[in-house]
């Protein structure tokens, strides 16, 4: 029995607690015995108290000696560290068990679904699913609304579109906005037309682009984007509009920049075609970029990125200077072309295409300052050049008229020097294009055609010994 007791271990804290309890009980018993009615002498009471003090003192001394011994023995320190490690492990195991319990609930929500890949492949390749239960086919569920259901649904959608359009400020350049059949159509004259509705990614607060048309074009028709680039451009616009406070401002800015680049690209391409044809000795051009001009090449101005977005890397869309004159190379002779007339086509700060003549010219039809512009829906650089030539020619003839009116030898009466418009001798189509001006001086009249290719003189009054004739120089 003693061997078994010696092999058992007792915590020091328990031993201290037992000693304190035993001392307390002994003191309590001593006090009660002193209060007993039986008579005991003072000497006996003092002897009992002394015994209690000696016994308690010996017990506490043993505890003190044992505590001192425990602090000096390495084995006890090792046992204490081991007990602390085991206690820490127990805490970690408890926390791990709790974490695994809560993680189990989260894994139920985070687990990946088991996709039915074979069925999906069958639907994509065949357009149907053969293993569809018969009970579902018997239900006859329609994938689209009937005509009676479509009318009220489209009416509600039109109301929603109108209310959203009223809540957002539209750019002033958008010339026409119509809402019908659940679709809002935004149009900018000469640039683009966009068909929109709501429901981008299932959110009724975001705009979705149904179709996109470019109105920039030539005589052959509007410019058409490839299907993939148009879809990529529409997807990028939808993403930007969803993240913007004013989605229509983003829509207009991107498409307006794209249209401006397309216009300048078309103008440059038409100029190249003119230089390869009958205008090759009459015109030349220079590119204008950031205030500097350089000889034009054959590279295209506009380039769409692979994702369909305009490649707007901070580069300004270059403008174009078109110099025109007969035998241009001989006249300039490689020197400064400051005196050569030209018409400048370039996008302004707001990317609106502007046309400006190098000098002040008058319109033959109105005798006011000529205003030049491009019809972006039907770009025709040759027509613009012909009009510039007609205005420049008319202005130069007016200058000649003023100089002749100052001459005393030529100008003697009101009918000596007359400037007429649209002479009867000119061809109808040329008269329409150029609005030909005729300068009448005395007995003959002179007018200029084309880009100033020749003067034609015709005698009006018969001269004795001479027939009425027409000469060209």
Convert the pLDDT of each residue in 377-419 to its tens digit.
888 888 999 999 889 888 888 888 888 877 766 666 666 666 6
pLDDT in tens, 329-348: 555 554 455 578 888 898 88
One domain, residues 208 and 312:
yes
Enumerate long-range contacts of 350-356, CB under 8 Å, 24 or more apart. Answer: 351/256, 351/257, 351/260, 351/317, 352/260, 353/260, 353/263, 353/264, 355/384
pLDDT category at 461 given cuts 50, 70, 90 is very low
Q: Is there a contact between 264 and 320 (Cβ–Cβ < 8 Å)? A: yes
Residue 258 CB neighbours (<10 A) = 23
Secondary structure (3-state) at 145? coil
Compute CA 66 distance to the chain's CA centroid, rounded to the nearest angstrom.
82
Beta carbons within 8 Å of 463's beta carbon, 6+ residues apart: 443
One domain, residues 209 and 70:
no
* Entry field: residues in the chain: 473
One domain, residues 175 and 322:
yes
One domain, residues 292 and 176:
yes
Among candidates 398, 324, 399, which has minimal Cα distance to 358? 324
Inform me whether the pLDDT recorded for 302 exceeds 50: no
One domain, residues 211 and 354:
yes
One domain, residues 210 and 74:
no
As a whole number of Å, the CA-based R_g of the chain is 51
Sign of CA dihedral 157, 159, 162, 168: negative
* In a domain? residue 9: no
- Of the CA atoms within 13 Å of residue 130, those in its CB half-sphere come to 5
Q: Is there a contact between 15 and 63 (Cβ–Cβ < 8 Å)? A: yes
One domain, residues 348 and 423:
no
Cα separation, 260 vs 145, whole angstroms: 42
Provide the domain limits for residue 260.
164-358
DSSP letter, residue 338:
T
DSSP lists the bridge partners of residue 347 as 353
pLDDT category at 31 given cuts 50, 70, 90 is confident
* In a domain? residue 281: yes
Number of domains in the chain: 3
Tokens of 440: 């009448």
Domain termination site, one of 358, 377, 406 = 358
Among candidates 224, 172, 217, which has minimal Cα distance to 191? 217
Among candidates 353, 351, 161, which has minimal Cα distance to 255? 351
Beta carbons within 8 Å of 324's beta carbon, 6+ residues apart: 282, 283, 340, 341, 342, 343, 385, 388, 389, 451
One domain, residues 318 and 410:
no
Give 65 or 76, the one with higher predicted confidence.
Answer: 65
Inform me whether the pLDDT recorded for 6 exceeds 70: no
Tokens of 355: 């046309």
Q: Report the range out of 72-81, 157-166, 294-303 with the highest average pLDDT.
A: 157-166
One domain, residues 337 and 411:
no
Residue 445 CB neighbours (<10 A) = 19
Cα separation, 76 vs 70, whole angstroms: 6
* In a domain? residue 87: no
* In a domain? residue 91: no
Sign of CA dihedral 336, 338, 339, 340: positive
Q: What is the pTM of this model?
A: 0.57
pLDDT category at 87 given cuts 50, 70, 90 is very high
One domain, residues 326 and 405:
no
Cα separation, 410 vs 242, whole angstroms: 74
pLDDT category at 133 given cuts 50, 70, 90 is confident
Q: What is the pLDDT of residue 142?
A: 61
One domain, residues 334 and 425:
no
Secondary structure (3-state) at 286? strand
Q: What is the pLDDT of residue 412?
A: 63
Q: What is the pLDDT of residue 187?
A: 93
CA of 69: how far to CAs of 7, 12, 75, 76, 127, in Å?
19, 12, 11, 9, 88
CA of 178: how far to CAs of 174, 187, 193, 252, 375, in Å?
11, 9, 11, 16, 24
Q: What is the pLDDT of residue 35?
A: 79
Q: What is the pLDDT of residue 90?
A: 93
């Amino acid at each position: 029995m003693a061997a078994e007791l010696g092999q058992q271990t007792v915590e020091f804290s328990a031993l201290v607690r037992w000693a304190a309890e035993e001392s307390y009980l002994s003191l309590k018993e001593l006090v009660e015995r002193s209060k007993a009615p039986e008579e005991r002498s003072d000497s006996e009471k003092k002897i009992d108290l002394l015994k209690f003090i000696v016994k308690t003192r010996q017990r506490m001394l043993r505890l003190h000696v044992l505590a001192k011994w425990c602090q000096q023995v390495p084995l006890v320190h090792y046992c204490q560290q081991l007990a602390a490690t085991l206690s820490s492990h127990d805490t970690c195991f408890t926390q791990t068990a709790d974490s695994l319990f809560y993680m189990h609930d989260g894994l139920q929500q985070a687990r990946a679904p088991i996709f039915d890949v074979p069925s999906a492949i069958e639907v994509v390749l065949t357009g149907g699913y053969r293993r569809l239960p018969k009970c579902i086919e018997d239900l006859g569920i329609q994938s689209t609304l009937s005509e009676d259901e479509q009318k009220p649904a489209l009416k509600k959608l039109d109301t929603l579109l109108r209310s959203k359009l009223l809540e957002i400020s539209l750019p002033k350049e958008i010339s026409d906005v119509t809402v019908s059949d659940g679709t809002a159509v935004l149009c900018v004259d000469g640039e683009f037309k966009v068909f929109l509705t709501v429901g981008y990614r299932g959110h009724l607060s975001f705009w979705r682009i149904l179709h996109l048309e470019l109105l920039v074009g030539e005589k052959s028709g509007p410019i058409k984007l490839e299907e993939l680039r148009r879809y990529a451009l529409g997807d990028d616009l939808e993403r930007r509009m969803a993240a913007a406070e004013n989605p229509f401002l983003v829509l207009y800015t991107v498409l307006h920049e794209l249209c401006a680049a397309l216009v300048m690209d078309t103008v440059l391409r038409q100029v190249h075609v003119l230089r390869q044809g009958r205008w090759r000795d009459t015109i030349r051009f220079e590119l204008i970029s950031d205030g500097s001009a350089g000889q034009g090449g054959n590279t295209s101005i506009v380039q769409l990125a692979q994702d369909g977005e305009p490649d707007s890397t901070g580069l300004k869309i270059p403008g174009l200077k078109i110099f025109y004159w007969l035998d241009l190379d001989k006249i300039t002779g490689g020197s400064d072309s400051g005196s050569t007339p030209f018409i400048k086509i370039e996008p302004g700060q707001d990317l609106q295409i502007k046309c400006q003549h190098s000098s002040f010219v008058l319109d033959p039809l109105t005798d006011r300052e000529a205003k030049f512009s491009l019809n972006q829906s039907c770009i025709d650089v040759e027509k613009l050049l012909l009009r510039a030539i007609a205005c420049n020619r008319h202005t130069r003839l007016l200058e000649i008229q003023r100089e002749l009116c100052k001459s005393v030898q030529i100008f003697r009466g009101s009918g000596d020097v007359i400037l007429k418009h649209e002479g009867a001798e000119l061809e109808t189509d040329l008269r329409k294009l150029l609005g030909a001006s005729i300068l009448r001086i005395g007995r003959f009249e002179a007018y200029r055609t084309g880009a100033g290719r020749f003067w034609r003189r015709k005698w009006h009054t018969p001269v004795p010994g001479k027939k009425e004739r027409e000469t060209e120089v």
